[in-house]
Amino acid sequence: MPAALSLQAVRVVYGDRVALNGVSLDVDRGELVGLLGPNGSGKSTTLAVAAGLLDPLEGVVTVAGLQRRDDPHGFASRVGLVPQSCALYDELTATSNLTFFGQLYGLSGCNLRKRVGRALGRAGLADRAGHRVGTLSGGMKQRVNLAAALLHDPPVLLLDEPTAALDPTSREEWLADLARLRDDGHAVLFSTHHLDEADRGCDRIAVLDRGELVAVGPPAEVFGCRPGGRIVLYGHLRGKLPRFLERSLRQRFGPDVEIDATGGRLRLSALTSEELGRALALVLAEGVPLDAFHTPAGTLARVLHQVVG
């Protein structure tokens, strides 16, 4: 049984810049995978290739075993894409937008009307169907984007930073939406800058750095979770950390974050990646003289720094 989505040794080059360098990643039905990495790491390029919007220089992309070059229509019918920017017409209602996009998919008549109603319901927009998109909030517009991607009931859903610029409540609603779509049997791949989203909501995370896939696995494994459920980060100190600063940081962290500075090494541990990110940000803000830091797995040193630093 082939994976719902499969990227094998994908290479993409823009001029003299390598955007993706041999990226291989599978996503199965009923799986939620988060794509993590700093700006310019290749997240959007990965999603564009997976959606069939961009042909790789090398490598193979398949959806349910089907390549786009063999059957472009069949490939497109199996993929739903929610872009980072709103791809809607503000002057049209949510229903009119979806009707337009449904016609592009070749839907018509009673079938189209049923699918529009179902997609709006699945996106939590049944009560906003007649509202012009231009009057909706950013979070609601993103939901219309999601409804458009669900119109043709694709097995694969791709989302490019769907929670960017959303308020905390809308972010939580989106994470719940993605979990429901996963539970409905979709293969979901979404990019994010938020470590807590990747840690809490995903079955697996895939970390990109400078076009290369540097880590793939369950969040606890990739973030270096140790027995007892704590996540550990090590830093190399330039000289000794003043005792007064160590005490001050320990007091400001609270009981859920631990700090230790001995033998030229700083050790931070926390119960969640979100807490660890906040602790690291505080350490950096205090000017602690760190040369480098890494997780026990050693794969997220540069990426984690760029994401939360």
Domain count, the chain: 2
Of 221, 255, 289, the residue at which a domain comes to its end is 221
Q: Would the pTM of this model clear 0.95, i.e. be above it?
A: no
Query: Do residues 232 and 210 both lie within one domain?
Result: no
Secondary structure class of 298 (helix, strand, coil): coil
Query: Do residues 209 and 258 both lie within one domain?
Result: no
Pairing label, strands 187-192, 156-160: parallel
Query: Do residues 272 and 204 both lie within one domain?
Result: no
Q: How far apart are CA 59 and CA 10, in angstroms?
A: 4
Query: Do residues 202 and 91 both lie within one domain?
Result: yes
At 185 the pLDDT is 94
Secondary structure class of 216 (helix, strand, coil): strand
At 223 the pLDDT is 65
Query: Do residues 230 and 301 both lie within one domain?
Result: yes
Query: Do residues 159 and 197 both lie within one domain?
Result: yes
Query: Do residues 231 and 217 both lie within one domain?
Result: no
Is the CB of residue 7 less than 8 Å from the CB of residue 24? yes
Q: In this structure, what CATH number is given to the domain that contains residue 78?
A: 3.40.50.300
Query: Do residues 126 and 208 both lie within one domain?
Result: yes
At 281 the pLDDT is 81
Of 221, 248, 265, the residue at which a domain comes to its end is 221
Is the CB of residue 198 less than 8 Å from the CB of residue 36? yes
Q: In this structure, what CATH number is given to the domain that contains residue 301?
A: 3.30.70
Of 173, 197, 221, the residue at which a domain comes to its end is 221
Query: Do residues 215 and 287 both lie within one domain?
Result: no
How many other C-beta atoms can be found within 10 angstroms of the C-beta atom of residue 259?
A: 19
What confidence tens digit (pLDDT) does each residue in 162-197 have?
887 677 777 788 888 889 999 999 999 999 877 777
Residue 301 corresponds to which tokens in the numbers above?
């040193």
What confidence tens digit (pLDDT) does each residue in 111-150 have?
999 999 999 988 888 899 999 999 998 888 888 999 999 9
Question: Which residue range(s) make up the domain with 269?
Answer: 224-308
Query: Do residues 96 and 180 both lie within one domain?
Result: yes
Most confident of 92-101, 232-241, 264-273: 92-101
Q: Give the N- to C-terminal CA distance of the chain in Å, as an integer.
A: 41
Closest by CA position to 237, among listed 167, 276, 289:
289
Query: Do residues 234 and 178 both lie within one domain?
Result: no
Query: Do residues 231 and 264 both lie within one domain?
Result: yes
Give Cβ neighbours of residue 31 (< 8 Å, ≥ 6 apart): 4, 182, 187, 188, 203, 204
